[in-house]
Amino acid sequence: MASRKLPVLLAGLLLAGAAHASQASHVHASHAWIRLLPANLPAGGYVVLANDGDRAARLAGAGSRDYGSVMLHQSTSQGGMDVMRMVDHIDIPAHGRTALAPASYHLMLGKASHPLKPGDKVPVTLRFADGSTLHVDFLVRPANASGDGRD
């Protein structure tokens, strides 16, 4: 009896161990939205990422079938000037959260593959430094929105 249960138990523990190692499995996304701008102008993507793991998670990239280009960006205000630059990664601290929000970290989404409108859901794949991925649906909102409308 024990010999039949042991492999199952071991397999279970191994699986649990593997799941525990993945950064994506510890990250929970909420309030994901895209600020839609007219014509083919690049759009901004925002989301709150909470990490319940014991180690920091590192967001290393993102992709979407609705956009040809998705980059991680950061806006900063330095000495009265607004500057935006691309970043390689965005860290989410252990047992903490990082918000991609206006005037801070955000996704820059460009080269839309087809016209989008407010109310659409854009599936985005967030890629972490360890290769794990998290799928998040971003809600398309109008240009003058102040959030995802669901707070």
Residue ranges binding another protein (CB under 8 A): 35, 37-39, 41-44, 73, 75, 77, 80-85, 102-103, 106, 108-110, 142-146
Question: How far apart are CB 128 and another protein at their closest, in Å?
Answer: 23
Is 25 or 75 the residue whose CB approaches another protein more closely? 75
Question: How far apart are CB 43 and another protein at their closest, in Å?
Answer: 6
Is 44 or 53 the residue whose CB approaches another protein more closely? 44
| Token pair for 67 | 């956009």
What's the CA angle centered on 69, arms 77 and 87, to 5 degrees?
35
Question: How far apart are CB 79 and another protein at their closest, in Å?
Answer: 10
Cα 123 to Cα 45, 66, 68, 120, 146: the distances in Å are 12, 8, 13, 10, 21
Is 3 or 77 the residue whose CB approaches another protein more closely? 77
Question: How far apart are CB 88 and another protein at their closest, in Å?
Answer: 16
| Neighbour tally for 18: CB within 10 Å | 10
Burial, 51: exposed, middle or buried (Cβ in 10 Å; 0-12, 13-18, 19+)?
buried
Is 24 or 59 the residue whose CB approaches another protein more closely? 59
